[in-house]
Structure 1
Amino acid sequence: MSFEQFDSPKLKRFQRKVTLLSAAGTFLDGFDLTVIAVAMPLILSQWGFGPGVQAMITSSAVIGSLIGALWLGNLTDKFGRKAMYVVDLLAFVVFAALTAFAQAPWQLILFRFLLGIGIGADYPISATLVSEFSPTKERGKYSTSLGAMWFVGAVFAYIVGILLLPLGDNAWRYMLLVGAVFALIVFFFRVTLPESPRWLASRGREKEAEEIMLKITGEKVVIPPSTKPKQKLAVVFSKTFFRRTFFVCGFWFCYAVAYYGISMYTPSILKPFTNGSQLLVYLGSGTVSVLGLLGSIIGLNLVERIGRRPLIITSFTGLSIALIILALNPAPSLQFLVILFSLAVLFANMGGGILNFVYPTELFPTEIRASASGLATGISRIGSIMGILVFPNLVASWGNSKALWFFAVISLLGLIISAILAPETKGKNLEELNADIPVNANNNENTVGV
């Protein structure tokens, strides 16, 4: 089902609306996953727990997102894009608010875990919906904008931290509550979006799909009954899809290990070099996040120009070089750390950090698109958890410099996987990319395949 044959201001406004509301979700993902790192120094000073509890609080939302991606991604293919698209925002509202009122570390861990389920679900749901509503020539740009907004959310978390820091001991509670307020606003707008016509057609509900196409394009569209065989998630491990599955899971896993291992502990890494200034910690960490955002914007503007494959290879190459230089310096200065961490996340986010919203939705057919994207997200969450839990233990055993070698090796592995397996999907519609699935066509009217 392609939107190329339609060119109306009404359709373009609708496509921008879908992208904006989906990007609002990834903005909240970035904010909620980053704000805990911003708030952690204040929580530590108030509650005084050890590194084990700190790791559990930091990783609980990521662990929850693993479950959310696998579970709700699969339900999205079963029950529709819209239902899950709205439900996961409710999790944001409720559990982000509850984290702000936690009275003990175990409560914070529990509520962050439940919040994480909503966060994990939003990755495959939003990415799938945007890919299914986007025109081929702009699909990469629309999809990568989701990744870019994740980093806008991360930067915003540091801005919120700086602005609320003067509120004193309970400033961290207000930081966490901000996410709930934004989620509530997004929720009311998401309710107004229709179901994906591609999903409806894949379920044999062609008339409903035609009605939605008429509503959003202003033109009558005839959608023939789907002749595609029904697919189950297990097909991603078949000979047909295994190469694609290994690629999307592999590169996203490697990116997640490196990025989360660095970003979740940037404030903690920089703190010993700031003479006890919490503001300087936030400014240094915020600078790293801003450069990460810049990287995603660069990638967003290059994805339809140079293509996906050159972009992801360049991304992992730059990330690997930056991490190796960091690992080679056993006695860095604050300026050195900020500059090299900034370059690392800039390169990471110009490819791996935004193409994780593109490749998983392009390389699998409609029937399993959200499930496959959810699987890739779930595997990436394992990488995120590994980065978050492994890094502090490596630092304790080896020191910062030697610990960074672990992430350099993982980044090099991502480079190898991308160089060997990354396909070029630029300029192809979703049906062309999955041509092994039969598609009917009818040239008598405006007719679109599923």
Structure 2
Amino acid sequence: MIEQYLHVRVDPATLVEAGEEGHPARHGSLREPAGTWMDTLGTALISLVFLIGCLPAMRLIDTIGRRPTIVWCFGLMIPPVLFIGLWPTMPTLLAFTMLLLYAFFCGGPNVLDWTYPNELFPTHIRATAVGFATSISRIGAALGTYLLPWSLDHLGMGPTFLFAAVVTAIGFLICLWGAPETKGRNLESAATVAA
């Protein structure tokens, strides 16, 4: 296949990572990545809070509605990143608390990332809309994965988090301007609300 697309002949043996002379190739371990156990624990805790934040959001979209949930969640996501951006030298525990708050309030947008596309589009394009919304969210996640470390290294913590606050505020304004309420509507009538 490599030869077919790249017009280069490659020996399959060169594609396999060779071990040291006479020894089999070593397998990786979770203990090898750089960082401390605190880094790993912190990342795991923030990921857990992302998940926990989805639980009340799932309840809220059916009690107070889709629009209030997404507007309030985006609004409450702004202060933690803005606070870090304005005070980048804050104590580590306080910064970590701000990240946990941000992760928790992300629950609303995360849940509505699946709910809204299903409700806002008519049946004949619903699957395409869901796929498009999911792919856009994955592109955003991929960009963030690469841009966040770059920004921290080149711009510093303050500007990076101020930029995150601006992006979150733009999301808030878009939701405030255009997020419809689809709670309690069947799929066809919900799709006409968005039109």
TM-score interval, smaller chain = 0.7 to 0.9
Report whether the alignment pairs 1:301 with 2:159: no
Report the CA distance between 1:103 and its aligned residue: 4.4
Q: Structure 2: how far apart are the matches of 1:280 and 1:306?
A: 38
- The 5-angstrom pairing of residues 325-344 of structure 1 reads 325-344=83-102
Q: Structure 2: how far apart are the matches of 1:354 and 1:396?
A: 32
Q: Structure 2: how far apart are the matches of 1:172 and 1:367?
A: 45
The answer as to whether partners of 1:285 and 1:338 remain within 8 angstroms in 2 is no
Q: 1:280 to 1:393 in 2, by over 3 A?
A: closer
The answer as to whether partners of 1:299 and 1:354 remain within 8 angstroms in 2 is yes
The answer as to whether partners of 1:287 and 1:338 remain within 8 angstroms in 2 is no
Range that drifts further, 419-428 or 329-338: 329-338
- Counterpart of 1:318 in structure 2: which amino acid? L
Structure 2: segments with no counterpart, 5+ residues: 1-15, 19-25
Report the CA distance between 1:333 and its aligned residue: 2.9
Report the CA distance between 1:398 and its aligned residue: 1.4
Report whether the alignment pairs 1:362 with 2:152: no
Report whether the alignment pairs 1:407 with 2:195: no
Partner of 1:287: 45
Task: For residue 171 of structure 1, give the secondary structure of its aligned residue in structure 2.
Answer: coil
Please list the CA deviations of residues 15-59 of structure 1 after superposition, one character each: whole Å capped at 9, or x if unmatched. Answer: xxxxxxxxxxxxxxxxxxxxxxxxxxxxxxxxxxxxxxxxxxxxx
The answer as to whether partners of 2:117 and 2:133 remain within 8 angstroms in 1 is yes
Q: 1:402 to 1:301 in 2, by over 3 A?
A: same
Please list the CA deviations of residues 422-444 of structure 1 after superposition, one character each: whole Å capped at 9, or x if unmatched. Answer: 000000011222359xxxxxxxx
Task: For residue 63 of structure 2, give the secondary structure of its aligned residue in structure 1.
Answer: coil
Please list the CA deviations of residues 68-123 of structure 1 after superposition, one character each: whole Å capped at 9, or x if unmatched. Answer: xxxxxxxxxxxxxxxxxxxxxxxxxxxxxxxxxx849xxxxxxxxxxxxxxxxxxx
- The 5-angstrom pairing of residues 177-326 of structure 1 reads 271=35, 278-326=36-84
Partner of 2:28: 170
Q: 1:169 to 1:399 in 2, by over 3 A?
A: farther
Match of 1:416 among 150, 170, 173: 173
Structure 1: segments with no counterpart, 5+ residues: 1-101, 105-167, 174-266, 272-277, 437-450
The answer as to whether partners of 1:362 and 1:430 remain within 8 angstroms in 2 is yes
Q: Structure 2: how far apart are the matches of 1:311 and 1:405?
A: 24
Report the CA distance between 1:283 and its aligned residue: 1.8
Q: 1:330 to 1:370 in 2, by over 3 A?
A: same
Structure 1 runs (4+) deviating above 6 angstroms are none
